[in-house]
Amino acid sequence: MIRAESRLGECNYDLIFNNCEHFATWCKTGHEESKQVKPLLDVLDFFKWRMEFKERQSYQNLIDRQNDILRKINHEFKQNNLRQTKEMVPQMLQENTLVTNNFDYRILEILLKEGCWQEADELTAYAMLKVLNRDYERYFRLIDIANFPREDLLIIDKLWLEYSRNLFGFSVQKKIYQSLGGIQDYQYEIWENFSNKVGWRMNDIPLLYEQLCFGINAPKGHFPHGKKIGFEVIGFLAII
């Protein structure tokens, strides 16, 4: 009560950074937190991470694209909130299956649902690096792959499978890799054949990330690519 009274007359409301849940949590615990907007904060962190490594678009085009995605995400969460009033328990159970102690994958679901394949692919790489606290380094070590939580990888795979109609996903890539004689260890010739099969190479030349096909008409197994996953994907296939 004392905490609440100390902020009487305050006019600093902000939907993302200082909303009613922030205030209520602060009154109770002394710490400002809002679980409702955490996914939006996560996607803002992702966009910041992405902008720091901008390679392919003009700055303004990328900003416009990300603002459009933010509007879609905001609309999706508003719709979810409306559905929650009607189906509170089922909705909460469904959302909880996409949230682990390491990452909130609801943003990935929205990007895939909206057909934002490039952003979904980059977010996949970001999430996997974030899970391992490697988002600053931007690459995986062998020990990171060995210790990657299977629960998180299965959620990522499930979302890619569901929204691509079983066209994309780690499990799809695993079947292709194994059909070519691939095993857990990296083998150059098989890796080349695999890259050709999933459309990462053309005429035996590796494609730049910007040359990939960011659409549902891409070759089977085309995603996740994730820019920085590269041939390390073989290690992750062993976890699926």
* pLDDT (tens digit per residue) in 23-78: 666 567 766 766 777 777 788 888 878 777 665 555 667 777 777 888 887 777 67
Q: What is the pLDDT of residue 15?
A: 57
Q: Does this model's pTM top 0.75?
A: no
Q: Which residues pair with 222 in a beta bridge?
A: none
Residues 133 and 202 in one domain: yes
Q: What is the count of structural domains for the chain?
A: 2
Query: What residues make up the domain containing 14?
Result: 1-34
17 plus 108 within the same structural domain:
no
Parts of the chain with a pLDDT under 50: 85, 88-93
Residues 212 and 132 in one domain: yes
- The candidate with the shortest Cα–Cα distance to 102, out of 141, 147, 136, 152, is 152
User: What is the distance between the alpha carbons of residues 240 and 78, in angstroms, rounded to a whole number?
Assistant: 33
C-beta separation of 65 from 59 below 8 A: no
Query: Which one-letter amino acid corresponds to residue 185?
Result: D
Query: Domain check: are 43 and 131 in the same one?
Result: yes
Please enumerate in sequence order all residues whose Cβ is within 8 A of that of 215, keeping only pairs 6 or more positions apart, or say none: 115, 117
**In the chain, % of residues over pLDDT 70:** 72
**Same structural domain for residues 124 and 105?**
yes
